[in-house]
Amino acid sequence: MLVDIVIEEPRWETAGLEALSERACTAALEELGLPPEGFLVCIMGCDDARIAELNADFRGKPKPTNVLSWPSEERGVETPGETPELPEPGDEDDPEELGDIAIAYDVCVAEAQDQGKSFEDHVTHLVLHGFLHLLGYDHMTGQDAALMEGIETRALARLGIADPY
C-alpha cells in the first residue's frame, strides 16, 4: 500500500499520520480480500480552517469536519446495501490510484477526548472510514451504513482497536 502523505498542519508530523494511515488502509484492503500492494492513496493532514474550506467548497458546509474523501472515480452502488465493485490492484510501477483523503487535527483531538478514545485509534478509524469511501462504500442508508460499519469494525479488530460504534 502506497500512502502519499501531505502535511499542512505541523502537529501531524509528530502524530505519526503516515504509519497510522498505512495500518488503516492495509487493514481495510485485507478485510476486503484485496492485496495491500498495488494501490495508492494521498492523505493530507490539515488543520480545522483548511478542512472547513474544503468542506465548504465540496459539500457546501462551511465548518470543520473530521475527515473528507475524494475518490479517483465513482465506485458507488445504486442499490442500498450492495457491495461496490472493488478495483483491481495496479503494479509497483503503476499502482491503482484510489483518491484523496483530508483529515483535521483539532477535530480529531476533540472527538477522541469526547469519546474517551486514544487519538491514534480515532485517527486510524477515521482514515479507514475515509478509505472505504474511496472504494465506493457509503452510509447514506441504513443498509449501506450497516455494510460499511461492519467492515470498519472487523478491520479495526484486526488492529486490536475496539468497535467504534
Cα radius of gyration (the chain): 15
DSSP 122: H
Give CA–CA dist 38/93, Å, rounded.
Answer: 9
Residue of 156, 158, 62 lying closest to 118 (CA atoms)? 156
Start-end of H helices in the chain: 11-15, 17-31, 48-59, 105-115, 119-134, 142-158
122 is in an annotated binding site: no
125 is in an annotated binding site: no
129 is in an annotated binding site: yes
Binding-site residue ranges? 129, 133, 139
Binding-site residue ranges for Zn(2+)? 129, 133, 139
